[in-house]
Amino acid sequence: MSAIEPKSVGCVETQIARIALPEGGLRLECGQSLPELETAYETYGELTPARDNAVFICHALSGDAHVAGYHDDPHKTRGWWDDMVGPGKGMDTDHYFIVCANILGGCKGTTGPSSTNPATGRPYGSAFPPITIGDMVNAHLLLLKHLGISRVAAVVGGSMGGMQVLEWAIRHPDTTRHCICIAAGAGLSAQALAFDVVGRRAITSDPNWQGGDYYGTGHTPAAGLARARQIGHITYLSRRMMSAKFGRERRRAAGEQAPAGKSGRDFQSDFQVESYLEYQGEKFVDRFDANSYLHITRAMDEYALAERFGSLDAAFEPVQAKSLIVALSEDWLFPPEQSVEIANALLRAGKHVSYCHLHAPHGHDAFLVDIRHLAETIRAFLPWVKHSKPSPPGPRPAVVPEVLGSATDEEVNALCGMVQDGRRILDLGCGDGWLLSKLAERADIEGLGVDLDIEQFIQVVDRGHAVFQADIDAGLAMIPDRQYDYAILSETLQVVHKPRFVLREMLRVARAGIVSFPNFGKWTHRVHLWCRGRMPKGGALPFDWYNTPNIHLFTLRDFVTLCGEEGIRVLDTVCIPAGKCSALLVRIGLCNLGAERVLVKITRDEEGAADRPGSCRAI
């Protein structure tokens, strides 16, 4: 997939919808109700006659409805995710109808603390009721109903927006087909809670807060809100990015005098990082409301799925949507382990889930600014609903060539025959997902791929399969015991660092395994070494010795011996010869001499029967 082109949806306008509410108003989880609801939103693209191409974007804490395009000046009022949303971009407005709305409790057009309370004719202020992430989702669903949309193709969100995505999938499972949760968690960590607590205290300690009723007084808690933003902003950048941008750089050169009225008594520093934080605080005060900040951060703090449902597995039981969970490598506000926790729980609950871990040196904010692989991943994951989905442009380099990626029909049929009594398939080192697609075409299977390379991950997702970006050498901790009928290692065992460990793990998570590999014991390889004294090249071993991904070269006999040592039973062996001579050797039982490639079906020996040989046949 090529880099995202800098196209824009152009000049847009934020619209305000007055939402029709049931009798009694909008009932909130706290037990109180809002008598009126206005929601600010923007839309991009065209809704199909079938109304099946809507994608709803949930914004983060300080975001708003203006996600793409510009309001008046394209250089000053670009949407906060303009690089992601537009023609040909990650969320392609040539194909999708994108909707983004300001959240309940916000201050950018949706009902919040600064809105007029119809009971008093004055801003709500301290009278605005507590809200939850669930309340925000419910309000957005009312907006979609107002727009005549009952179901969306996908709901997408990062940070607090990711929490909304999770809540959407749990609370309203029949309203979305796909969910994309980016850099979020099922609840805040103690560290994140601490930052929020201190940020709110900065606001409420400002005398101008006036208990939340500062509207119309001529005084606002600007200093407290600026401090809260500075505290929060520290968590948005990674340590590496802070060091690269500022380090210990100072505003003034050595010996330069401080401005008049500034001295060491006020304890202000000359460091550039302080100037940066001051700028971020001042900019935030100009566009955000302190009471909204208080309500929204408290809603984030109170969001805790495991506490609410008893466990994440139980929380995700209602989920029907295909889910994509994205972690950012240097995010310490929502560290990757929180995304892993979500993905693993969805997998344990038996849901269709994909997980990737993107390199993100910017930290938490990377999903807004460093989007190349994120945009490609989202584009691949979204269902193509308006027109037929084109193939991703541009070739992708393969990390490890799969022998079955260019397999004959006979080979694929043999593999399908091996898995005919099972439908839950785990493909370890799945590459671009070619094998999963072939199995899906020829057998009724439900597959999950595992691969470390992000380019391969994107291709697997684009094919419609669930996939985890993970290093199989590190184990399969995300997968419970016996979760799958079969685990497949297609041309992968020879490239891993820990073959024994990988075999143990595959037979822990699956009741049987199928391993395919090039057979180094073939007679032509032996002759090549004997006559030339050099490593063979060609056929199943197409690489020069110094440029091969193969770490371990072994024979069929080596593999069978290893299985015996590990207590693994060989159930079936399929030998793939190359040439008439090799085929003859296989037919008379000299498989190790004749096989060019081998497929071996194995299981964990539970009855001490590792020495009982399985069948050996050729195709």
Contacts of 520 (CB under 8 A, 6+ apart): 541, 553, 554, 555
Domain boundary among 381, 415, 445: 381
How far is residue 492's CA from residue 427's CA, in Å, rounded to a whole number? 10
> Domain check: are 138 and 222 in the same one?
no
Task: Give the model's pLDDT for residue 2.
Answer: 39
What mean pLDDT comes out for the span 12-21? 96
In a domain, 397, yes or no: no
**List 8, 115, 159, 292, catalytic entry:** 159
Look up 159 and say whether it is catalytic: yes
How does DSSP assign 156-200, residue by residue? EEETHHHHHHHHHHHH-GGGEEEEEEES--SB--HHHHHHHHHHH
User: Which of the two residues, 534 and 263, has the higher pLDDT score?
Assistant: 534
In a domain, 7, yes or no: no
Residue 389 lies in a domain: no
Residue 394 has pLDDT above 60, yes or no: no
* CA pair distance 259, 455, nearest whole angstrom: 52
- For the chain, the domain total comes to 3
Catalytic, out of 64, 331, 427, 605:
331
What mean pLDDT is predicted for residues 268-291?
86
Q: How far is CA 462 from the centre of its chain?
A: 14
Give CA separation, 493 vs 357, 553, 554, 617, in Å: 23, 10, 10, 21
Residues in the chain: 619
Per-residue pLDDT reduced to its tens digit, 347-367: 999 999 999 999 988 888 888
State yes or no: pLDDT of 96 exceeds 80: yes
Least confident of 130-134, 211-215, 323-327, 524-528: 524-528
Q: Do residues 412 and 325 both lie within one domain?
A: no
Task: Say whether both 104 and 235 belong to one domain.
Answer: no
Is residue 288 domain-resident?
Answer: yes
Q: Are 326 and 358 in contact (CB under 8 A)?
A: yes
Whether residues 486 and 524 share a domain: the answer is yes
- Lowest mean per-residue pLDDT among 287-296, 552-561, 599-608: 599-608
The reported pLDDT for the residue numbered 396 is 40
Longest dimension (CA), the chain: 97
Residue 497 lies in a domain: yes
| CATH of residue 232 | 1.10.1740.110
Q: What is the pLDDT of residue 351?
A: 96
Is residue 390 included in any domain, yes or no?
no
* Same domain for 375 and 251: no
Kindly report, residue by residue over 437-457, the tens digit of the pLDDT: 988 887 778 899 999 999 999
Q: How confident is the model at residue 403 (pLDDT cuts 50, 70, 90)?
A: very low
pLDDT confidence of 397, banded at 50, 70, 90? very low
CATH code assigned at 438: 3.40.50.150
* Per-residue pLDDT at 441: 84
pLDDT of the residue at 610: 43
Helices assigned H by DSSP within 443-497: 454-462
Q: What percent of the chain is predicted at pLDDT more than 90?
A: 65
Q: Tell me: pLDDT of 390 over 80.
A: no
Look up 114 and say whether it is catalytic. no
What are the CA-CA distances from residue 503 to residues 40, 212, 509, 566, 567 (Å)?
A: 54, 61, 10, 9, 11
Which member of 178, 233, 362, 364 is catalytic?
364
Q: Write out the residue range of the structural domain in which residue 234 sits.
A: 199-256+269-295
Question: Are 411 and 518 within one domain?
Answer: yes
Residues 245 and 331 in one domain: no
* Residues 224 and 125 occupy one common structural domain: no
pLDDT(384) > 90? no
Structure tokens at 309: 């449902």
Question: What is the average pLDDT score of the chain?
Answer: 88
Give the per-residue pLDDT at 4: 42
Q: Indicate the residue type of 80.
A: W
Kindly indicate the confidence band of residue 268, based on its pLDDT and cuts at 50, 70 and 90: low
In a domain, 20, yes or no: yes
Domain boundary among 248, 277, 295: 295
Question: What is the pLDDT, as a whole number, of residue 404?
Answer: 37
CATH number at residue 358: 3.40.50.1820
Q: Does 237 lie in the same domain as 133?
A: no
pLDDT (tens digit per residue) in 161-213: 999 999 999 999 999 999 999 999 999 999 999 999 999 999 999 999 999 99
- The answer as to whether 132 is a domain residue is yes
Range with the poorest average pLDDT among 206-215, 281-290, 529-538 = 529-538
Is the pLDDT confidence value at 128 over 90? yes
**Residues 477, 565: one domain?**
yes
Q: What is the mean pLDDT of residues 9-30?
A: 95
Do residue 178 and residue 204 come from a single domain?
no
**344 and 484 share one domain:** no
> What's the CA gap between 528 and 227, in Å, rounded?
73
